[in-house]
Structures are given as structure tokens and as C-alpha cells.
Structure 1
Amino acid sequence: MAGWIETYALADAAQRMLRVEAWKGRGATNRTRALISALPGLTAVPEVEGLADNWWQSDGALLALYEGEAKVFRSEEATFAALYAETKQRAEELRVTLHSIDP
């Protein structure tokens, strides 16, 4: 139960932000790992680190990884990740970073 309220607060905040990109399935986990390495200052939100959801934040950005359903049903295809930005300028900066780490 720990982190449940924080997760909903982060999800609510993300709904008011610009969605930069979203991924599903195996690509969601891989992209999340790449972004954690590529975005300076991206830090885990410790209150929500857990089996179901994980969130990272940095200046003007949120990164979410939803894995709970995937773990329960043992289906990587249920994994979902999304990157959000507070402003259009930050969204463009994040898109540049995404393009730089594309395989």
C-alpha cells in the first residue's frame, strides 16, 4: 500500500503535462533503461519504487513505467511507459534526447 497515494498524485500531475512519447511491451522497459542513463538529473521517486509502478523525475520531466499488470499476468506486452514534459520547450529537448538514443 505504501506509495499508492504518491503514484496517483504523479499520474494526476502527468495528465496535466505534455506526453512526449509512450511505449508498450518489451520496448517500454528497454526505453526506460536507456532514458534513465541518457537524461541527466533523472532520479527515482523513492515513495513509489516498487513492483507495480516506478517513476523518475527531473527538471520539468516525468518518466513512468507501469509493470504491475505485466508481472501479475506474466506478459511483457502489458508493460507501459511514458515520458512527460512540463513545457513545450522541455518536450522538444526530450525529443532530441530520444532521437539521440534511438538504435
Structure 2
Amino acid sequence: MPFDDITGLGTSAERHLASLLLHVRPDRQAMVRAAIATLPGTELHIEQAGKMVVTVEGPHEGWIADRMTALHLLDGVFSAVMVFHHIDRGHIDRAEVEAAEGS
């Protein structure tokens, strides 16, 4: 299954979506927020003092696990816990994939 490890985009119709709960040091929350914005396939949805809900989307479980580990290793993150994982085996529009891959 060809895909890009950085963006997680590929030709497979299978996509994995996970939501994570991060517990963070409140004094490091702004730095964690900025780091999340730089990680492809991640999106911060909601936060309050010491807590963040992040979604991760990628081509397979290993890619999700890699992002989860990267989030857990950020300075100021106490824990990153998966609370939901969904596998979408639906059809991906080829034009969308080619545009994202720059073809």
C-alpha cells in the first residue's frame, strides 16, 4: 500500500481516525498547541487548562501510533491516551489523492 509517511496520504481506500486525550502542564499548553499544529494529520479540537482533545488521521494503525507517540513525547505532555479509533474502508476520490500528492 503506497503512502507518504509524512502526510499519511496514499492510494489505499482505508483511513484510520483516532481521537486522543492529552493531559498537559498548563504552563506548557501554548507550546504543546503550537507543536500539534506542525504535525501532519493532527488537529486540536478543544482544550481547557491541562487537557486537550486531538484527532489523528492516517493510512494505518502504525501511523496513528507514531503520531500518538510523538504527541506523548512533547515537552509538557503528561499522557496521550486514545479514546476512539475508527477505520473507514470507504472509497477515496482518486482526483483528491492525486491533487494531495501533487500528481
Higher share in strand: 2
* Structure with more of its chain in helix, by fraction: 1
Same fold (TM over 0.5): no
Which structure is larger by alpha-carbon Rg, 1 or 2?
Answer: 2
Tell me the TM-score normalised to structure 1 length: 0.35
TM-score by length of 2: 0.35
Higher relative contact order (CA 8 A, sep 6+): 2
